[in-house]
Amino acid sequence: WESAAKGGGKEVKNVIGYTHEGYVQYKNSWGQINNSWKMGRSFVVHGFGKRGQLLFSEDSRPFDLFSWDIQYKGLSGNMTGIQLENIDGKKRFLSLHTIDWKMNDKLTLSFSESSIYSGENRGVEWQFFNPVIFWVPERENPSTGQANGFIYCGIKYLHIPSLSLWGELLIDDYQINNESKGDLEPNEIGLLLGIEKTGWPLTSSDLWLEYTRITNRTYQTPDVSETYTHRGFPIGHYLGNDFDMFQLYYSQENMNGKLKPYISLAYLRNGANGLDTPFDTPWEDSTVTMETGYSEPFPTGPIAYITEMELAADYKFRNDSFINAGLFYRRKTLQGKTVDEFSIILRLWLSLNKTFNY
């Protein structure tokens, strides 16, 4: 039901749904250059995070898009144009371009830029779909209108085959000048760091730890239609703004990979200003001056302290089809009040994929 809710459509006798994926794709090769074009509805996932990514998360809704992927040896690039849903009568568009460089068997670097723009009379604006220019100066010197832009940098390092480290940095707004009260706006950035160890203590073990931190207002602007969401769901990290979180995960495969029990632990400090909170500008208050400056706590209060634990197992009964069952515990403390929740997990993923050979 949660996945179907991302369609945002009308319920019919308590049933809702939407077209999950549907696209046409064409691939070809020119010597050592591999190309792939896709048009239709599909997912976009970008980054190294395990349970959430900063720029485009695996938890986001599928997009109506056109994309071009190109790869040459250790270099790969992508250009994606997306049409989002309208908000308040404004048309919304999202563009993404990326370049990944696998320098060697150990180190991979990633650089990306995305821009979301909106307006009643705006359409495809080619400067935001040009894959070989920077969009930041186009946004700051607009000829057709403003945009909410993001710069992303990622790195993954494979120390040894069984030990890897990764990091992601997302910049929405970073203050360089200090000339006016507008420059007192706090930096709006996201950070994700992770480490994974496989093959310990057993050959089929997987252990990883991840830390995520995203400041208030990072995915927002004063214009609600530029909020980094699609049909009410975050495009970036699934928790949105104003939080930090530690996640620890351990799994152990058995029965030749058919059975995988796991335990997942998370500790979250969730601030009061998420994506559903309007963008405010307290640094513009008359009590604030350039001499006094402006700062605010992180996360912003009141803070919800949340602990989660999941103890479950996946059982794969055929390719891409499996059952997930287990227990889930959640404790939330907010302003001195604590609530405990226990749940039983039972999920079924059934794949009907069939490959035909001609």
Quick one: which of 158, 165, 174, 123 has its CA closest to 144? 123
Torsions phi, psi for 279 (to 5 deg): -70, 120
Quick one: which of 267, 146, 147 has its CA closest to 212? 267
Q: What pLDDT does 218 receive? A: 96
> What percent of the chain lies above the pLDDT cut of 70?
92
Whether 184 and 267 have beta carbons less than 8 Å apart is answered as no
Quick one: which of 9, 27, 29, 50 has its CA closest to 192? 50
Max distance between CA atoms of the chain, in angstroms, equals 74
Quick one: which of 252, 248, 247, 255 has its CA closest to 312? 252
Whether 245 and 52 have beta carbons less than 8 Å apart is answered as no
Beta strands in 161-258 (DSSP E): 163-173, 188-198, 205-214, 229-230, 233-234, 243-252
Alpha-carbon span 337 to 322, nearest angstrom:
38
Identify the residue with better confidence: 125 or 225: 225
pLDDT range class, residue 1, cuts 50, 70, 90:
very low
Asked whether residue 352 carries a pLDDT value surpassing 90, the answer given is no
Where is average pLDDT lowest: 6-15, 257-266, 339-348?
A: 6-15
Whether 186 and 177 have beta carbons less than 8 Å apart is answered as no
For residue range 174-194, list pLDDT tens digits in order. Answer: 888 888 888 899 999 999 999
Q: Please enumerate in sequence order all residues whose Cβ is within 8 A of that of 155, keeping only pairs 6 or more positions apart, or say none.
A: 48, 107, 108, 109, 110, 166, 167
Whether 136 and 147 have beta carbons less than 8 Å apart is answered as no
Helical segments of 120-221, H only: 135-140
3-class secondary-structure state, position 183:
helix
Asked whether residue 260 carries a pLDDT value surpassing 60, the answer given is yes
Alpha-carbon span 273 to 281, nearest angstrom:
13
For residue range 129-175, list pLDDT tens digits in order. Answer: 888 878 777 777 767 778 899 999 999 999 999 999 999 999 998 88
pLDDT range class, residue 332, cuts 50, 70, 90:
very high
Alpha-carbon span 283 to 272, nearest angstrom:
18
Whether 176 and 31 have beta carbons less than 8 Å apart is answered as no
Q: Report cis status (omega within 30 of 0) of the bond before 297.
A: no
Q: Please spell the DSSP secondary structure of 228-247, one letter per residue.
A: SEETTEESS-TT-SSEEEEE
Q: What pLDDT does 353 receive? A: 61
